[in-house]
Structure 1
Amino acid sequence: MTLLSVTHTTVYRYQRPVTFGEHRLMFRPRDSHDIRLVNTALIIAPQADIRWMHDVFSNSIAIASFQEAASELRFESRVVIDHYGLDYPDFAIEPYAQTYPFSYPAEEIADLGRSVERHYPDPDRKVDAWAKRFVEGSGPVGTQDLLTRINSAIQAEFRYERRYAIGVQTPAETLEKGSGTCRDLAVFMMGVARALGFAARFVSGYLYDPAVEDDQAPESDVTNGVQGAGDTHAWVQIYLPGAGWVEFDPTNGQVGGANLIRVAVAREPSQAVPVQGTFYGATGDFIDMDVEVRVTKPITT
Structure 2
Amino acid sequence: MPFLNLSHVTTYTYRHPVSFGEHRVMVRPRESFDQHLLDAALLISPEPSEVRWLQDVFGNSVAIATFDRRAKELVFDSRVRVLHTPAELQEVHIEEYARSYPFTYSSEEMPDLLRSIERQHHDPQRQIDGWARRFVNAQGPTDTLGMLADMTAAIRREFTYVPRPEKGTQSPIETLSRMKGTCRDYAMFMIEAVRALGFAARFVSGYVYSPTVGEHRTGGGNTHAWVRVYLPGSGWVEFDPTNGIVGNTGLIRVAIARDIYQAVPISGTWAGFPGSFLDMTVSVDARIDAATITDGSDSAGPVLTTPDAFVSGQRRTG
Q: Would you say same fold, with TM above 0.5?
A: yes
What is the alpha-carbon distance in structure 2 between the residues aligned to residue 45 and residue 89 of structure 1?
Answer: 45
Aligned length: 290
| Matched-pair identity in % | 52
User: 1:9-51: CA deviations, max 9, x gaps?
Assistant: 1111111110000100001100110000111111111111210
Aligned-residue RMSD, C-alpha: 1.5
Give the alignment's TM-score, normalised by structure 1: 0.93
User: 1:127-186: CA deviations, max 9, x gaps?
Assistant: 111111111420111000000000000000111122232221111010011111111100
Paired position in structure 1 for 2:4: 4
SS in 1 for 2:12: strand
Deviation (angstroms), 1:229: 5.5
Residues 236-255 of structure 1 correspond to what in structure 2 (within 5 A)? 236-255=227-246
What is the alpha-carbon distance in structure 1 between the residues aligned to residue 22 and residue 230 of structure 2?
Answer: 34
Residues 196-275 of structure 1 correspond to what in structure 2 (within 5 A)? 196-209=197-210, 225-228=216-219, 230-275=221-266
1:230/1:294 contact within 8 Å kept: no
1:229/1:293 contact within 8 Å kept: no
Asked if 1:68 corresponds to 2:62, the answer is no
After superposing the two structures, state which structure 1 stretch, 225-234 or 264-273, moved more: 225-234
One-letter identity of the residue aligned with 2:56: D
Unaligned 5+ segments in structure 1 are 215-223
1:208/1:229 contact within 8 Å kept: no
Name the structure with the higher helix share: 1
Paired position in structure 2 for 1:171: 172
What is the alpha-carbon distance in structure 2 between the residues aligned to residue 124 and residue 19 of structure 1?
Answer: 47
Paired position in structure 2 for 1:95: 96
Asked if 1:278 corresponds to 2:269, the answer is yes
Paired position in structure 2 for 1:184: 185
Paired position in structure 1 for 2:23: 23
User: 1:103-128: CA deviations, max 9, x gaps?
Assistant: 01111110000100001011221111
What is the alpha-carbon distance in structure 2 between the residues aligned to residue 273 and residue 85 of structure 1?
Answer: 25
Deviation (angstroms), 1:210: 5.0
Residues 30-41 of structure 1 correspond to what in structure 2 (within 5 A)? 30-41=30-41
Task: Provide closer, same or farther for how the CA distance between residues 67 and 298 of structure 1 changes in structure 2, counting only shifts above 3 A.
Answer: farther
Deviation (angstroms), 1:282: 3.0
One-letter identity of the residue aligned with 1:132: R
Deviation (angstroms), 1:299: 5.5
Paired position in structure 2 for 1:298: 289
One-letter identity of the residue aligned with 1:120: H
What is the alpha-carbon distance in structure 2 between the residues aligned to residue 299 and residue 150 of structure 1?
Answer: 34
One-letter identity of the residue aligned with 1:241: P
One-letter identity of the residue aligned with 2:145: Q
Unaligned 5+ segments in structure 2 are 292-318
